[in-house]
Amino acid sequence: MPRGIFITLEGLDGSGKTTQIKRLAAWLTRRGHQPFLLRQPGGTAIGDRIRELLLDSRSRSLDPMTEMALMFADRAQAIAEIIQPALDAGKVVVCDRFTDSTEAYQGGGRKLGSQVVLDLHRLICRDVQPDLTLLLLPGFAVSLARARRRNLRDTSETGRDENRFETEKDGFFRRVWEKYHEIAGREPNRVVLIEGDLSIDEVHEQIIESVSERIVSLAQKS
């Protein structure tokens, strides 16, 4: 059986990934691909516990290396439990964030650099790579304003405090944004950069265009 298709979505906080994933999933379902959806950190029982540690504002003393190690621990579990079995069964997997987030946030934002992230990815994630990454990245001013709008999300609404990253300073988000650009420049075949202050419909159109192309080209190869 041909390997399935692994699609990831990336972008700053508030970039609209969640809305786009829902619309992409509905589009895939209408075409007969039952997509597997998951998000990082989280998505498995163990990953959800790691997520709590990572995003809770009370985890203020978390060292950047610990933070990165926890992101990879979460990812290794998701690959073993969900992503690899689904791909082996020929399914489409859509993941909200993957190792590009670690490179952008820990490598860029926390200044740990790209190399350590790429090395750990090879070791811990056996270099599992997405077939296609959709990077939602408007200009920095728009990206920052959207990330800030998400700032201090209503804890009472979710019952959880998941604001640790959203309370970071502008310089942190600038480094994340720049690192995402660097990744897109380095891997143009995998990463589709969706720039500009586009409407939800316009972004969706670009996403389905890229996904259709990738589905066709992967089907031709298998």
Q: Which residues of this chain interact with ligand TYD, rule CB under 6 A?
A: 13, 17-18, 39-41, 55, 71, 96-97, 101-102, 105-106, 162, 165
- Of 1, 2, 34, 19, the residue nearest 131 (C-alpha): 2
Residue placing its CB nearer to ligand TYD in the complex, 132 or 215: 132
- Tell me whether residue 20 or residue 106 sits nearer to ligand TYD (CB atom): 106
In the complex, what is the shortest distance from the CB of residue 9 to ligand TYD, in angstroms, rounded to a whole number? 9
Q: How far is the CB of 125 from ligand TYD (least distance, A)?
A: 11
Taking the complex as a whole, the smallest distance from the CB of residue 162 to ligand TYD amounts, in Å, to: 5
Residue closer to ligand TYD, measured from CB, 98 or 211: 98
The distance of closest approach from Cβ of residue 32 to ligand TYD in the complex, given in angstroms and rounded to an integer, is 28
Q: Is the dihedral of CA 206, 44, 123, 99 positive or negative?
A: positive
- Closest approach of ligand TYD to the CB of residue 188, in Å: 22
Nearer CB in complex with ligand TYD: 194/215: 194
User: Is 101 or 206 the residue whose CB approaches ligand TYD more closely?
Assistant: 101
- Distance in Å, CB of 113 to ligand TYD, minimum: 14
Helix ranges (H only) for 1-139 are 17-30, 45-55, 64-78, 84-88, 99-101, 114-124
- CA gap 141, 40 in Å, rounded: 25
CA distance 21 to 9: 8
Give me the DSSP letters along 172-195: HHHHHHHHHHHHHHH-TTTEEEE-
Burial class (CB in 10 A: 0-12, 13-18, 19+), 30: exposed
Residue 40 vs 77, nearer CB to ligand TYD = 40
- 175, 108 in Cβ contact below 8 A? yes
Number of H helices and E strands in the chain, helices first, is 10, 5
